[in-house]
Chains A and B, each alone.
Chain A
Amino acid sequence: MDKKRLALPYVIWASIFVVVPVLIIVYYSFFDKGIFTLQGYKQVLNPRYLGNIMDSIGIAFISTVICLVLAYPLAMILSSKEMSAKGIILLLVILPMWMNSLLRTYAWGYLLQDTGVVNSLLSSMGLPTMQFLYKKSAIVFGNVYNFFPFMVLPIYNVLCKIDKNVIEASYDLGADKFTTFKRIILPLSMPGVITGIVMVFMPALTTFLVSRLLGGGKTTLLGDLIEQQFNKTGDWAFGSALSVILMIIILITLVFMSKKDSFDKGGGLF
């Protein structure tokens, strides 16, 4: 009973700042100036906007896959006990998180622009300069850069928690290194992988910062689209409908991911 009462402030906080706003958005997605309408949702079906949604999902997906492919080997190396520079590398992974992501993304914009540092270096080496910015690949790059630590840390945490004896037991029973990875290490690290996927996919899907600064507004993502409806066109019904759809996509992803995570050993962050 006492413990429940301690949770009360958080319940009030969450109600006022999470539940009520969500309900307001759901309301606005169905009502325009007090009149019930499905106009917002109809607009979503416009091929142009559907394309934006698919772009968002696609870019978020590719960013997540790249993060996973880069992060897993790094997490494995970091979690092996022979690794002596472990602390330094881990620090390097976490260090960017201490800085505001807006600043970091701005910095990349300057580094990668047509007359930026990277291109100056290229031309000074006699190599042709390239256009880096204002492409989907630039957004993917920004996402990977910004969200990489969120993939490394949960996987690293889970790998560290795997009992070394269990891995030795696998070798002992005749499994070589590859089989041990496939049948023991990978399944046991799934909670961390799933946490990492969720932690990268969600912000990558909803970002409008990265697409604005590195994509130069040429690629409109779900986040940009929503922001435009509220700040520029004032079409609150459409903006709210998009928000509701975004929430549904996120919920579906979470349900799907938590189903995959049947072996519940705790993924470090959830």
Chain B
Amino acid sequence: MKETKQQTEPIINLVNISKTFDDGAQILKDINMYIRRNEFLTLLGPSGCGKTTLLRIIGGFEEASSGEVLFEGSNIAKLPPYKRRINTVFQKYALFPHMTVGENIAFGLQIKKVDQKTIDEKVAQMLELVNLKGFQDRRIESLSGGQQQRIAIARAVVNEPEVLLLDEPLGALDLKLRKGMQMELKKIQQKLGITFIYVTHDQEEALTMSDTIAVMNEGRVQQIGTPVDIYNEPKNAFVADFIGESNILQATMIKDYLVSFHGVDFVCVDTGFGENVAVDVVIRPEDIRIVKEEEGMLKGTVESVTFKGVHYEMMVKSNNYTWAVHSTAMAPVGAKVGMVLTPEDIHIMKRG
């Protein structure tokens, strides 16, 4: 595994990237961000948020309407994809159907005129890396989706790119296979020390694999940070809602360390919003504790209970707001309950 201190140096800088399609739809709006060497960065967002377009701009398949793509400091915005030291794992694998597995992996090396002996060695190495030893002569259509995905990864990685772009590579796989591949991808990334830029709409996948997550919506980056930061300190209501389930409420910041909603003042840990300012409050369902009605800071009625395996998901109606609550203890439907919130679980956000 490479040392994490190397991660500090940016390898790609995106400067004022905007993209408007011919039909006038503005898909990216002034994106500014950088990707550090050897990090696993995920572009996360709902479909249509512009994440795939951004990836295609980095790969060279799409040209930005304005802005610069800096690769190790030099602008590569006009460079065609075949001149970039970047490789891509495509959403639907895009393997060459008229070639064998071995020929697919060897393609990039053949273009670079690497000698046959080295090619054979590297192809064998790659097949071992993706756990498909001895598959050289198999035909592409004889492989399962998961196997094709591994070959697509091997075909890209064998070129030893500085940056690997992955466009929802696990989208077509079933849940169990996807979980396995997530771990494998992470392992491959750490083993080879390649910068990964990963596109997904699956927040759980993003939280599991990434060093850094950039949450995107409507053509803008909403927040960049570590998975823990993004989860615990969402910057706005969109991020909070998109990353995991959330209760988002309108509130008033009375002063530092004190916020009021639903007619109750709560102690919190946030400062610097000013006095008597309208804000949004995010409370994660798992951070709410269900207690007896008289012990609760808020009181409500249980409207529904769903068993989710590890916990119960309860909907609790209080002050005309329905709270999502995750708890291992169950209160029956119709029960009057109290809810307790601890200061560090109340996340304050500026009103969007």
Contact = CB atoms under 8 A, between A and B. Distances in A.
B97 A168 contact: no
Contacts, number: 63
A83 to B, nearest CB: 14
B175 interface: no
A173 B158 CA distance: 10
A236 to B, nearest CB: 48
Contacts of A172: 59, 61, 81-82, 86-88, 156
Contacts of B92: 163, 165
Nearest to B88: A172
A72 B92 CA distance: 28
Interface string B91-114: 110111110000000011001100
B80 interface: yes
Contacts of B91: 165
A187 to B, nearest CB: 5
A96 to B, nearest CB: 33
B261 interface: no
A176 interface: yes
A187 B97 CA distance: 10
Interface string B141-165: 0000000000000011001000000
A175 B82 contact: yes
A84 to B, nearest CB: 11
B90 interface: yes
Contacts of B82: 171-176
A166 interface: yes
Given A168-B90, A171-B82, A265 B96 contact: no
A168 B155 CA distance: 13
A180 to B, nearest CB: 8
The secondary-structure label for the interface of chain B is loop
Contacts of B112: 174
B111 A175 contact: yes
Interface footprint category on B:
20 to 34
Interface in A158-187: 163, 165-166, 168-176, 179, 183-184, 187
Contacts of B156: 172-173
B98 A169 contact: no
Contacts of A173: 82, 87, 107-108, 111, 155-156, 159
Nearest to A175: B111
A265 B111 contact: no
A117 B345 CA distance: 89
From B59, B80, B96, B108, residue with most partner A Cβ within 10 Å: B96
A163 B148 CA distance: 15
A165 B159 contact: no
A171 B86 CA distance: 11
A166 B88 CA distance: 11
Nearest to A180: B82
Contacts of B108: 173-174
B213 to A, nearest CB: 24
A263 B100 CA distance: 12
From A169, A183, A188, residue with most partner B Cβ within 10 Å: A169
Contacts of A163: 92, 94
Interface string A175-213: 110010001100110000000000000000000000000
Contact of B97 (A171, A175, A188): A188
Contacts of A168: 61, 81, 88, 90, 94
Contacts of A179: 111
Interface in B31-68: 59-61
B276 to A, nearest CB: 54
Interface of B: 59-61, 80-82, 86-88, 90-92, 94-98, 107-108, 111-112, 155-156, 159
8 contacts: A165-B94, A166-B96, A168-B61, A173-B111, A174-B111, A175-B111, A184-B96, A263-B98
Given A166-B95, A168-B90, A175-B107, 7 more contacts: A169-B90, A169-B96, A173-B87, A173-B155, A174-B159, A175-B82, A265-B97
Give the 5 A-B residue pairs with the shortest CB-CB distance, closest first: A165-B94, A173-B108, A169-B94, A174-B111, A171-B81
